[in-house]
Structure 1
Amino acid sequence: MSNSIWRKKPMSAYEADIKNSELKRVLGKWSLTAIGIGAIIGGGIFVLTGTGAHYHAGPALALSFVLAGIGCIFAALCYAEFAALLPVEGSAYAYAYGTIGEFFAWIIGWGLVLEYAMGAMTVAVSWSGYFNKLLHLFGIEIPYYLKNDPFSAATYAKSMGLEHVGWGINLPAFVVTWLVTYILVKGIKEAASANNIIVILKVAAILFVIIVGAFFVNTANWTPFIPAPEMVEHADGSMKEAYGWGGIASGAAAIFFAYIGFDAVSTQAGEAINPKKDMPFAIIASLVICTILYILVSLVLTGMINYKDIVGDALKAPVAYAFDKVGQPWAVFIITAAATAGLISVMLVMMLGQTRVFLGMAKDGLLPNFFRQVHPTFRTPWKSTILVGFLVSVVSAFTPIGVLSDMCSFGTLFAFAMVCLAVLLLRYREPNLERDFKAPALKIVAPLGILTNLFLIFNLDGLAQKLAFGWLLIGLVVYFLYGKPNSNLNEK
């Protein structure tokens, strides 16, 4: 078994990892919950509500959020059980290593790069867009070649009839990535404090939208709450059926990605004060809090304006558009500022999660020691943090990010499905293990989690699926050339 690709990391090794951890344990349950909220709530809530209502569910978008939340809770409960059982950095990778085997764990760890690193890249570009919009509201304009990658800059110059300078760089995305990298190198306490402040700001902005928007709700816009099915024209000119119960289901798939991120909590086990109790609480609490906020925002939006009026430019910023339509244009400043600040915390958590997954893999010998070196003063994996920051800053500054968001979703959904499978297998293989938190009705929850996430994977963009599978193939080559020969389990 020592040379098998299915060899498992023994529980005693996890206990040693926990005992010998060099990371600072400074995160309580509410700091962990804030990390989950920080990862989940980004600028998407201010966009997906519009597209979900107009193209899919109408006012019943609230039910789509309920359905998507239920789909997430399957994975969340499985994550919570594992986080309490194996409170170590590495998330789904670490869970799979102790239950299914090394090869499976490697594939998950390699796939998590799609979620965290590529997620950070797409968020950096999105942040740049919101930041430029915020500057525009104050009458400040950055030259097009300093806010677009070379390809997008050329396209923009052509569309505007300008003479292209021949180059371009998304400077805001580049700068914000290094700002986040600096915070992460400085220390987990500083990173958590920065995240807490941003989370408070963006939750306050969402509560502002809900409370102030409620005064402008016209209940006639909610009638009928579940519109009769009909064909709706999409931006690409195609006609697709929307509304009805089918529209609620397709809406759930479309807005599912607004929930991505709660699993990032599980990467912080090495820095949690009481991981066995606080990790399950934070994972489930962050998901429940965000689901409630999402439902309320969707109800307010579809109550303020009719879902059929959310078209054209309104789809890009539907919440701001709704306030403008009811005579409150000043709200656009608050919403844009909240989205800009909110995306920084999403980036922070994504890059934080990535370095902790690398740390876990390096501790097991599957990656070079470079990724496990902890700074003597800051107690953070500083070298891998700087490397991740460099890669994210360069890609986001010089690459047009389109299909990468779907690749990010692939990595997330793949990890969700594998965690559901792993926790189910462990219940059967090791029924007597002490579990501080047990997922209820696991025989139902785990299979539903697997099916839900696999269904959503096969509904992703075709090109993204091919690129993601290509990435996994590269991972196989790296595993057999470096990971397997250098694994700590070779010594056993």
Structure 2
Amino acid sequence: MSRGLFITKPVQPAAHVDAGEPAHADHLQGEATLKRALTAKHLVMLGIGGVIGAGIFVLTGQAAAAHAGPAVVLSFVIAGFACALAGLCYAEFAAMLPVSGSAYSYSYATLGEFVAWFIGWCLVLEYLFAVATVSVGWSGYFNELLSLLSEVTGSSIALPKELASAPFTFVNGVPTPTGTLINLPAIGIVAAISWLCYVGITQSAFVNAIIVTIKLIVILLFLVFAFRYIQPDNWQPFIPESEGPGKFGWGGIARAAAIVFFSYIGFDAVSTAAGEAKNPQRDMPIGILGSLFVCTLLYILVSATLTGIADFRILNTPEPVATALAQYTSLNWLRGLVVIGALAGLSSVILVMAIAQPRIFYTMSQDGLMPRFLSKIHPKYQTPYVGTIIVGILAASLAASFEIGVLGELVSMGTLLAFATVCIGVLVLRYTRPDLPRPFKVPLAIVVCPLGALACLFLFWQAFSEHWRLMTAWIAIGMVIYFIYGYRNSKIRRAAIAAAG
């Protein structure tokens, strides 16, 4: 049995794919019907859409106030460095194996089925829970917009807290009632974006490009107009003196890096769209690394400006950018734009994650590790519509019931494990299959790959030390599903048994 657990999926070089041509089933027994419609520009915008959102509009201020102070800039650099190393590895895999399974497919080809399932289950944690958690953040900004409109119109149109916030929170890992009823705006945004994903990948990418443009304009306006209000005294001390484990000092910077890592989770979603890229060998590296570079630069600039215009201690709010702008009456006009930009930013993050998760289910289903209905493709829209519906229902249920809190850190933990595995997988495949054509190669792989894995595992430990019970429970649930269903229905294993018999 132990040998069968690590059976690998045959790897075949991916032939060049012409624009509009459906992927053939000759590599990783891959996508037979997904429509190839995405260009490098689409992929870069998809990456920016997935990354720029909760990090800038929520987590930057909270991480600064609770953990790093002005040195949250360094936290973004550390998290961005880990992502850059993992991004190089993702680019090599995505160009070589342009399929829709992301780290799951890469692990299946290199480290075996058991590891692939583990990573696939971590990706479910990443994408599904990210849709839910970011939807909760979207709900908060939506109600803030309604409050601003109420001030303008003189009539109260904001939703009551009972209908716009989660009825449960986590206290020491235990769900605890908050006294509210349901989060209706969160349900609404998940339903709307799920419908968009249902009707087609091209339409989703087009809408995403519009959303990304809006939020980038808002972010640039913030940087330009807030720059002259920066007070260097707010950056002193740049690294506040430690007040305990994970609270300021270098320990706080590391803890904040694990938190703001959530800000970067969208870039790997680009790789899940590889099966729908027109020229994946060229476009995937551009999409992954290009979006990662742009987003890291923006995060550094925004976090430096934010802590420069306001005392970092006041930024621990659901809308830290708006909180900082509220200190200057002359910037009140910008607050409304920031709320709109936040809604756009969070919407695009939800969109990218909602696109990614059904495609993980799709690929795992094709391999027999998930039920077959998850790989059904809509005859008209050419999308994995059953998986999209299921993801929408589950994400809406989570978003309606729970606060962001610990769920965001669990998302980061699942992502970091997936990233570390990709880094290791690239190095393994260099030695086990050196013959495979690699349109893009990680430079100095013997250094970059281990360093990337170590960086991701270091950040993983920062959160795991506090949330190990919840993470262990999630892994245990995944193992039960695998051994009850996935192991018995694996197509690769059945084919191996048939060949041996």
- TM-score, normalized by length of structure 2? 0.88
Q: Which residue of 2 aligns with 1:406?
A: 409
Match of 1:266 in 2: 271
Question: Post-superposition shift, 1:20?
Answer: 5.6
Change (3 A) 1:239 1:370: closer
Distance in 2 of aligned mates of 1:334 and 1:425:
48
Aligned length, in residue pairs: 471
- The match for 2:18 is none
Alignment correspondent of 1:325: 327
Instruction: Give the 3 Å change call, closer, same or farther, for CA 219–183 of structure 1 in structure 2.
Output: same
1:145 to 153, 157, 162: 162
The alignment partner of 2:229 has SS state of coil
- The CA deviation at 1:373 is 0.5
Query: In structure 1, the residue corresponding to 2:273 is in which secondary structure?
Result: helix
Instruction: Indicate which of 80, 85, 100 corresponds to 2:96.
Output: 85
**What is the CA deviation profile of residues 385-431 of structure 1, one whole-angstrom value per residue up to 9, with x for unaligned ones?**
11111111122113445322122111101101111111111111112
Instruction: Establish whether residue 74 from structure 1 lines up as the match of residue 85 from structure 2.
Output: yes
For 1:148, the aligned partner's letter is S
* Map 1:171-190 → 2, pairs under 5 A: 171-190=184-203
Residues in 2 aligned to 1:434 and 1:126: alpha-carbon distance in whole angstroms: 43
SS at match of 2:4: coil
Map of 1:108 onto structure 2: 119
Residues 338 and 424 (structure 1), Cα distance of their counterparts in 2 relative to 1, 3 Å cut: same
Q: Deviations over 1:31-71 (max 9, x none)?
A: 11111111111133123332344444444433332222112
Shift of 1:109: 0.7
Q: Which residue of 1 aligns with 2:340?
A: 337
Distance across 1 between alignment mates of 2:453 and 2:245: 31
1:242 Cα shift? 2.5
User: 1:122-178 CA distances to partner (integer Å, 9 max, x unpaired)?
Assistant: 1111111111111111112213332234447x9666xxxxxxxxx712111111111
What is the aligned counterpart of 2:483 among 476, 480, 486? 480
Paired letter, 2:421: M
Matched, 1:349 2:369: no
Whole-angstrom distance in 1 between the partners of 2:386 and 2:259: 37
Identity of aligned residues (%): 47
Deviates more, 1:73-82 or 1:335-344: 335-344
| Counterpart residue identity of residue 48, structure 1 | L
In structure 2, relative to structure 1, the CA distance for the partners of 1:443 and 1:24 (3 Å cut) is same
Determine the C-alpha separation between the residues in 1 that align with 2:342 and 2:427. 38
Question: Which residue is 2:309 aligned to?
Answer: 304
Name the counterpart of 2:7.
7
Per-residue deviation, 1:330: 2.0
Match of 1:211 in 2: 224
Does the Cα contact within 8 Å between 2:65 and 2:316 map onto a contact in 1? no
- Hey, what's the Cα distance between the residues in 2 that align with 1:354 and 1:269? 14
Pick which of 3-12 and 127-136 moved more: 3-12
What SS does the aligned partner of 1:4 have?
A: helix
Q: Does structure 1 conserve the Cα–Cα contact (< 8 Å) formed by 2:93 and 2:426? A: yes
Structure 1 position 299, deviation (Å): 2.3
- 2 CA distance for matches of 1:398 and 1:54? 26
Change (3 A) 1:16 1:54: closer
Kindly indicate whether residue 37 of structure 2 is the aligned counterpart of residue 26 of structure 1: yes
Contact 2:258-2:463 within 8 A present in 1 as well? no
CA contact (8 A) 2:315 2:324 kept: no
Counterpart residue number, 1:124: 135
1:239 shift after superposition: 8.1
Structure 2 residue identity aligned to 1:481 = I
The one-letter amino acid paired with 2:51 is I
10 and 381 in structure 1: CA distance in 2 versus 1, 3 angstrom threshold: same
Tell me the equivalent position of 2:248.
Answer: 242
Higher deviation after alignment, 462-471 or 391-400? 462-471
- The range that moved more, 265-274 or 463-472, is 463-472
1:18/1:191 CA distance change after superposition, 3 Å: farther
Equivalent of residue 392 in structure 2, options 389, 392, 412: 389
Unaligned ranges ≥5, structure 1: 158-166, 233-237
Question: Which digits, 9 at most, give the CA deviation of each residue in 1:166-192, with x for residues without a partner?
Answer: x71211111111101100000000111
Tell whether the 8 Å contact from 1:81 to 1:280 is kept in structure 2 after alignment. yes
- The alignment partner of 2:463 has SS state of coil
Is 2:257 the partner of 1:257?
no
CA deviation vs aligned residue, 1:235-256 (integer Å, no higher than 9, x gap):
xxx786634x565544433422
Q: Does the Cα contact within 8 Å between 1:404 and 1:464 map onto a contact in 2? A: no
Residue 118 of structure 1: how far off its partner (Å):
0.9
User: Which residue in 1 is equivalent to 2:62?
Assistant: 51
Secondary structure of the residue that 1:460 maps to in structure 2? helix
Are residues 1:415 and 2:418 paired?
yes
Equivalent position of 1:163 in the other structure: none
Secondary structure at 1:458 match in 2: helix
Query: Separation in 2 of the partners of 1:219 and 1:3?
Result: 60
* Structure 1 residue identity aligned to 2:346: L
SS at match of 1:11: coil
